[in-house]
Amino acid sequence: MATMKALLSGAWAIFCKDIQSELRTRYALNALLLFAACTAVAVSLGVGFLGLRRDPQSLVIQSSLLWIALLFAALNGLSRSFVQEEERRTALALRLAARPTAVFLGKFCFNLVLLLVLDVVTTVLFVIFLRVEIANLSLFVAMLAMGSLSLTTATTLVAAIIARANFKSGLFAVLAFPLIVPLLVIAIQGTTLALGGGAWSQGLPLLQILSSYAVATLVASLMLFPFVWEA
Amino acid sequence: MRSRRWRLPDSASASTLTAMNTEQPPPPAVDAATPPPSPAQPAAITLELHELAASYGARIVFRGVSLTLQAGEVLVVSGANGSGKSTLLRLLCGLQQPTAGTIAYHWQGQVYYPIAARPLIGWVAPDLALYRELSGLENLRFFAAVRNRTPSDAELYALLEQVGLGGRGDDLVAAYSSGMTHRLRYAYALLHQPPVLLLDEPTVTLDTRGAAVVDQVIARQRTHGISVIATNDPRELRYGNYVLTLNPV
Give the closest of B94, B130, B138 to A90, CB-based. Answer: B130
Report pLDDT for B20: 66
pLDDT above 60: residue A144: yes
Report pLDDT for B42: 52
CB A179 within 8 A of CB A95: no
Tell me whether residues B132 and A17 touch, CB distance under 8 A: no
Instruction: Residue A10: list chain B partners with CB under 8 A.
Output: 145-148
Instruction: For each of the domains in chain B, give its residue range(s) and CATH number, in order of start.
Output: 16-246 (3.40.50.300)
CB A183 within 8 A of CB A210: yes
DSSP secondary structure letters along A62-74? HHHHHHHHHHHHH
The two counts, helices (H) then strands (E), for chain A are: 9, 0
Mutation for A interface: B86, B93, B148, most A CBs within 10 A: B148
Tell me whether residues B118 and A96 touch, CB distance under 8 A: yes
**pLDDT tens digits, A156-187:** 999 998 888 777 767 888 888 888 999 999 99
pLDDT per residue rounded down to tens, chain B (249 residues)? 343 444 433 333 456 777 665 444 433 333 333 333 433 445 589 999 999 999 998 899 999 999 999 999 999 999 999 899 999 999 999 999 999 999 999 998 899 999 999 999 999 999 999 999 999 999 999 999 999 999 999 999 999 999 999 999 999 999 999 999 999 999 999 999 999 999 999 999 899 999 999 999 999 999 989 999 999 888 899 999 999 999 876
- Type of residue numbered A183: L
Instruction: Residue B145: list chain A partners with CB under 8 A.
Output: 9-10, 12-13
Instruction: Residue B121: list chain A partners with CB under 8 A.
Output: 96
- Type of residue numbered B165: L
Give the closest of B133, B138, B146 to A25, CB-based. Answer: B133
CA dist A138 → A53, A126, A144, A214 (Å): 21, 17, 10, 20
Give A146's DSSP letter.
H
Report pLDDT for B196: 96
Distance of residue B146 Cα from the nearest chain A Cα, in angstroms: 4
Tell me whether residues B143 and A92 touch, CB distance under 8 A: no
* Domain span holding position A16: 2-230
Alpha-carbon distance of A15 to A19, in angstroms, equals 6
Alpha-carbon distance of B50 to B67, in angstroms, equals 7
Sign of the Cα torsion A162, A163, A166, A168 reads: positive
Question: In 10 A of CB B34, how many CB atoms?
Answer: 16
| Arithmetic mean of pLDDT over chain A | 90
Mutation for B interface: A12, A14, A17, most B CBs within 10 A: A17
**pLDDT tens digits, A5-40:** 889 999 999 999 999 999 998 878 888 888 888 888
- Name the domain count of chain A: 1
Tell me whether residues A93 and B188 touch, CB distance under 8 A: yes
Query: Number of CB pairs < 8 Å for A and B?
Result: 58
Q: Looking at A19-142, which runs of residues are DSSP E strands?
A: none
Distance of residue A27 Cα from the nearest chain B Cα, in angstroms: 11
Report pLDDT for A3: 83
Is ipTM beyond 0.95?
no
CA dist B168 → A93, A108, B189 (Å): 21, 33, 18
CB A156 within 8 A of CB A85: no
Q: How confident is the model at residue A193 (pLDDT cuts 50, 70, 90)?
A: very high
Alpha-carbon distance of A126 to A119, in angstroms, equals 10
pLDDT above 90: residue A77: no
